[in-house]
Amino acid sequence: MATITERALAATIDHAILKPEFTRADVDAELDIAAEWKVFSVCVRPSDIPHAVRRLEGTGVAVGTVIGFPHGTTSTAAKVAEVRQALADGASEVDMVINIGWLRSGFDEQVVADIAAVVDAASGHITKVILETALLDDEQIARGSRLTEQGGAAFVKTSTGFAGGGATVPHVELMRANVGPDVQVKASGGVRSYADALAMLGAGATRLGTSGSAVILGEARRVDAGEQAIGAVDATSY
């Protein structure tokens, strides 16, 4: 992918506000960044959902959250309860962590059932399934992607950002190759620059999870301005 406009890129970004040490002031600063740059959504800690919904009211920025985060090892019943509470608090999307141990163990039926229960609890709201690719080999990533589709989720996602590794182009390509056209790919973790964003979108991602929205979109804005300036020069040469 050569370039993408600032506005088109912002429409792919879920601005991550998930660090456990964040104070309310830290959260507010990040919410304000999301509103300023008009990203698609924020992804906040479950306890921050009601506040985020209030603060972002009227901005057009959606509020999403995480389920079973960051390890994916909570029970299916607990994940379902988290989803129901998140929706009641105003979240519009949920990003659940797959049961990584089950996936690595080859417990495919249990993995699908876990995902399907969350999708059902989400009642039509978008569900994304985080594989945590840094902890998986290629076979597990490919199989996890297929199980995500079997469970009915809308997205398969690379990473939490809390497992020592994030999205890579080969992993995004592998995920894209193992799901059908109705399932999208979210690249998350380590997406920190405009070049990173372009690489992930070029590999097949349609959504980006990042805490570096201002940096990425600032770079996109400068690219936009440069292209417009070049266009203006070209126009005067005829």
Query: What is the set of active-site residues?
Result: 95, 157, 186
* Most distant CA pair in the chain, distance: 67
Alpha-helical segments (H) within the chain: 6-10, 24-37, 49-55, 76-89, 100-105, 108-122, 138-150, 169-177, 194-203, 213-236
Distance (Å, rounded) from C-alpha 190 to C-alpha 197?
Answer: 10
In angstroms, the Cα distances linking 211 to 12, 113, 224 are 13, 31, 22
Buried b (16+ CB within 10 A) or exposed e, 39-69: bbbbbbbbebbebbbebbeeeebbbbbbbbb
Distance (Å, rounded) from C-alpha 89 to C-alpha 65?
Answer: 10
Distance (Å, rounded) from C-alpha 32 to C-alpha 163?
Answer: 27
Residues 6+ apart with CB under 8 A from 140: 103, 104, 131
Buried b (16+ CB within 10 A) or exposed e, 71-96: ebebebeebbebbeebbebbbbbbbb
